[in-house]
Amino acid sequence: MHNSIPYGKQHITQQDLDVVVKTLKSDFLTQGPQIAAFEEAFAKYIGAKYAVALSNGTAALHLCALALDVKAGQKVITTPITFAASANCVKYCGGEVVFADIDPETYLLDISAVKKLLENAPKGTYSGIIPVDFAGNAANLEKFRQIANEYGLWMIEDSCHSPGGTFIDSNNKEQYCGNGNFADLAIFSFHPVKHIACGEGGMITTNDKKLYDKLLFLRTHGITKNPDLFINDAQWAAGNTSNNVTQYPGWYMEMQTLGYNYRLTDFQAALGISQLQRADEGLKRRREIAAKYAISFENKDWMFGQSGNVTGHAYHLYVVEVKDRLELYNYLRTKNIFAQVHYIPVHLMPFYKQQGYKIGDFPNAETYYSRCLSLPMYPTLTNEEQDFVIECINTFYTQ
Ligand SMILES: Cc1ncc(COP(=O)(O)O)c(C=O)c1O
Among the atoms of ligand 1, which is closest to the Cα of residue 86? 3
Tell me if 160 CB under 6 Å of ligand 1: yes
Q: Is the CB of 86 under 6 A from ligand 1?
A: yes
Question: What atom of ligand 1 comes closest to residue 132's alpha carbon?
Answer: 1
The percent of residues above 90 in pLDDT, for the chain, comes to 97
Pocket lining: 191 vs ligand 1, CB cutoff 6 Å: yes
Evaluate: CB of 83 within 6 angstroms of ligand 1. Answer: yes
Residue 385: pLDDT above 80? yes
Provide the pLDDT for residue 37: 98
162 lines ligand 1 (CB under 6 A): no
From the alpha carbon of 56, which atom of ligand 1 is closest? 10
Give 389 Cα–ligand 1 centroid separation in angstroms: 26
82 pocket-lining for ligand 1 (C-beta < 6 Å): yes
**Any atom of ligand 1 within 6 Å of the Cβ of 57:** yes
Is residue 259 predicted with pLDDT exceeding 80?
Answer: yes
pTM: 0.97
Between the CA of 60 and the centroid of ligand 1 the distance, in Å, is: 9
Amino acid 1: pLDDT? 78
Give the model's pLDDT for residue 245.
85
- CA of 217 from ligand 1 middle (Å) equals 22
Query: In this predicted structure, what is the pLDDT of residue 71?
Result: 97
Mean per-residue pLDDT of the chain: 97
- For the segment 268-286, the average pLDDT, to the nearest whole number, is 98
Mean pLDDT to the nearest integer, 149-174: 98
Average pLDDT over residues 252-280: 98
Residue 262 in contact with ligand 1 by CB distance below 6 A:
no
pLDDT for residue 2 is more than 90: no
Among protein residues, the one with the nearest Cα to ligand 1's atom 10 is: 57
Atom of ligand 1 nearest to the CA of 85: 4
* pLDDT for 246: 85
Distance of CA 389 to the CA centre of its chain: 27
Above 80 in pLDDT, residue 160? yes
- Give 112's pLDDT tier (boundaries 50, 70, 90): very high
- Report the separation in Å between the CA atom of 88 and the middle of ligand 1, taken as the mean of its atom positions: 11
